[in-house]
Amino acid sequence: MKMRINKQALCACALLAAAVSVRAAQSQNGVTFTINAAQDVHSISRYIYGINQPIPSGSNLTYDRLGGNRWTAYNWTNNYSNAGNDYRYSNDTFLGGRSTPGGAMIPRIENAAANHAGLLLTVPMNGYVSAAKSGFASPTTPPSDSPYFVPEYANAPASVTGMSTKPVYENQFVQWVKSHFPKDFTAGTTTPINFDLDNEPSLWPNTHPEVHPAPLTYAELLQKSITYSSMIKSIVPHSLVYGPVSYGWGAYRTLQNARDSAADNAAMDPYTGKPYGNFLSYYLAKMRLAGKAAGKRLLDVLDLHWYPEATGNGTRITTESSTDPAVVAARLQAPRSLWDSTYVEKSWIAQSLGGKAIDLLPRLQREINANYPGTKLSFSEYNYGGGSDISGGIAEADVLGIFGKYGVYSADEWPGASSEPFIRAAFAMYRNYNGHGATFGDKSISAGTSNVADTSVYASLDSKDPSHMIVIAINKTAHALTATIHLDHMKTFDKAEIYQLTHSSANPVFVGNRSITNPKFFTYTMPAYSVSTLNLIAVRNRSRN
């Protein structure tokens, strides 16, 4: 049978192949990185290198969070918690700690301190916590009628002098933490203990109907936030309060379609004279008003979760096991949605914006500046998938660089799988690239690339050791790329120590030193799909004229 040839399709394929060939040729011709140590200089928060797990010994990570669905109904007096719909609404001692009050938290608090890391603890505020009874609670039974739960409140009445177990008072919990770990509440400590206002409250009716079956409203969450934050600040004024711990875009915009969202989003903000516009703007402005009335800040950190909705071939990039080329390509580009106003990802979020860029960090910073200036920004949960693939390591390294460059205060990666070797290696490229504790610097400086689709570059200085500069160079392509790195710095660097993360090993690998003979620029060839940490060293301690 003779095949019928579609000449129109053949022509389109030829044009596509030609376009791909031109782009590949342009990429292979190289890329230019421009670094200027006198521009865009600002501190990098040490707390962006965090995880939602105990800090591994020797990892040099800086922040741990005890959070997630299990902590919404955690009872600090007996260490019982409830799994919610993650596992049959099981009421049990899964978190450990036995009968010691606060026992489930003690190992993590001690682990963070031993590893010179900060800690973010969750304070339940949904209204009920687990009673000392094991079994499967019914989500259709009101918590007030269930033997599995006891009420919880922010503050104990003055008449209550000892630890109360029925009901549970969270001010006694915060006081217990302060009493047992007082050094972590000293101003300026590198191992602070801070507090999250529960976990993903807009999803309580879905994740925890056994304790909060009713849909949340703006009014309820705001009042709870003010009450619990005021309590925390009265006991540990130097600790930072994080809220509203929103799960994602739907919570950011309307608190998951709360019934009072339309009215409150349209209400007039007394500071700006304009409608609030979305839930986060409303929350920030109202917390600012509450803080003004209280005479102290009641919200220190705007805390959000971010699991990208970007897709490749219809599959989300956070699908951990997927290494489909389209998913990998989408994963490698997805960090651009954090900052790039020209990049539009394939996701329902971008569609909801009319096919425009998400531009997340600048968008959030504008909302903070307009509604509660000075509020810090946190992502206490995030994950870009691909933890067992080099693409996951590249995405994680890109995100860490972006967090430092754009002034995020703290971040805690949430593990998408039991083992994420390439994500852990990406952290090491910033926090332990030589295996002996060497780190990316604490001062971000200007670093730009001529090709943001194929590459990323981040640069830093160490405020305590000006003799070197650390550069993170990322190649998102399937072929080697030569970068011409232009340097503008008062010091002249003599050599570069080079460490690489590639698909060959889920660990940083030292690949040697290279001399830098020209004080203004040098070239470096990045392997395909790689993250490189370059330690630029001024051996002779010379200064440029």
Q: Give residue-wise pLDDT tens across range 359-414.
A: 999 999 999 999 999 999 999 999 999 999 999 999 999 999 999 999 999 999 99
Q: Is-catalytic flag, 396?
A: no
Residue 10 has pLDDT above 70, yes or no: no
Q: Report the pLDDT value the prediction gives residue 491, as an integer from 0 to 100.
A: 83
Q: What is the mean pLDDT of the chain?
A: 92
Among candidate residues 200, 194, 209, the one with its CA nearest the CA of residue 128: 209
Is the fold of 31-41+444-537 the same as that of 45-440? no
Residue 23 has pLDDT above 50, yes or no: no
Q: Report the pLDDT value the prediction gives residue 412, as an integer from 0 to 100.
A: 98
Residue 7 has pLDDT above 50, yes or no: no
- The domains of the chain are located at 31-41+444-537, 45-440
Residue 15 has pLDDT above 70, yes or no: no
Q: Give residue-wise pLDDT tens across range 106-138.
A: 999 999 999 999 999 999 999 999 999 999 999
Domain 31-41+444-537 has CATH 2.60.40.1180: yes
| Total H helices, total E strands in the chain | 13, 26
299 half-sphere exposure, CB direction, 13 A CA radius = 31
Phi, psi of 232 (to 5 degrees): -60, -45
Percent of all residues in the chain with a pLDDT value above 90, rounded to a whole number: 85
Overall CATH class of domain 45-440:
alpha beta
Marked catalytic residue, from 152, 170, 200, 381? 200
pTM reported for the whole predicted model? 0.92
Residue 498 has pLDDT above 90, yes or no: yes
Q: Report the pLDDT value the prediction gives residue 183, as an integer from 0 to 100.
A: 82
Q: Report the pLDDT value the prediction gives residue 541, as an integer from 0 to 100.
A: 53
**H or E element that contains 486:** strand 481-488
- Alpha-carbon distances, residue 146 vs 150, 169, 201, 209, 210 (angstroms): 8, 19, 21, 12, 9
Spatial contact of 378 and 409, defined as CB atoms under 8 Å apart? yes
Q: Give residue-wise pLDDT tens across range 245-279.
A: 999 999 999 999 999 999 988 888 777 788 889 99
Spatial contact of 333 and 453, defined as CB atoms under 8 Å apart? yes
